[in-house]
Amino acid sequence: MPVLAENPITNDTTRSRDPKELLNAVTPHLRHLTVNVLDSGLTVWDREVALLLRDEVMVRDLAERILGNAVMYVVASMEHPEVHLGVGKVVDIGVHQVILDTPVYFALCDLYNEGRYKHHAPFIQRRDDGTVTDTAAFLRPIGFAPDEELWARDGADCSPCDSKVPDSH
């Protein structure tokens, strides 16, 4: 059974958090392979979208939707390690993109996980415990607007991530 926090936000339930802004905010925290990451002249957001378009997704709009929801999940899992969160197959494409671009992922960890590396150690089997639907519901009160279509697509078929292990998602 997924464990959700009773009230993930105190004093501010109306804030709105833009995943594009959150991802671009890591730029000053980039410390590794900055030539690879920054010399294209693209923002971090546009770089990750371009990588998704190169490897996984054929349409920019969908790549941006996937990336935005992946950023929501990654940031939420870092800011709320006590909550059992997970994504479905579609959003997981974006999660893996962010993690594979290690200079960007390290910068995310610096900024949103107090400098601690957040491991990604999935189980082999996918879970069907409703964690995806619960995660989308958790994102709303912490200021995110999850893409209902992407989260509903795999609502019961969660990625095999394990957020119960310390420093993992």
Q: What share of the chain is helix, strand, coil (3-state, %, to 5)?
A: 50, 0, 45
* CA–CA dist 154, 150 (Å, integer): 7
How buried is 89 (Cβ within 10 angstroms: 0-12 exposed, 13-18 middle, 19+ buried)? middle
pTM, two decimals, is 0.84
**Tokens describing residue 52:** 């998704």
pLDDT in single tens digits along all 169 residues of the chain: 444 444 344 434 557 899 999 999 999 999 988 888 888 899 999 999 999 999 988 999 999 999 999 999 999 999 999 998 999 999 999 999 999 999 999 999 999 999 999 998 887 887 778 889 999 999 999 999 999 999 988 765 555 555 454 454 5
CA-wise closest residue to 163 among 79, 90, 106, 68? 79
Q: To which H or E segment does residue 92 belong?
A: helix 89-100
| Residue 127: predicted pLDDT | 74
Question: What tokens were used for 49?
Answer: 């979208």
Residue 52's pLDDT is: 97
DSSP assigned state of 4: -
Strand partners for 127 = 158
Q: What was the pLDDT predicted at 160?
A: 52
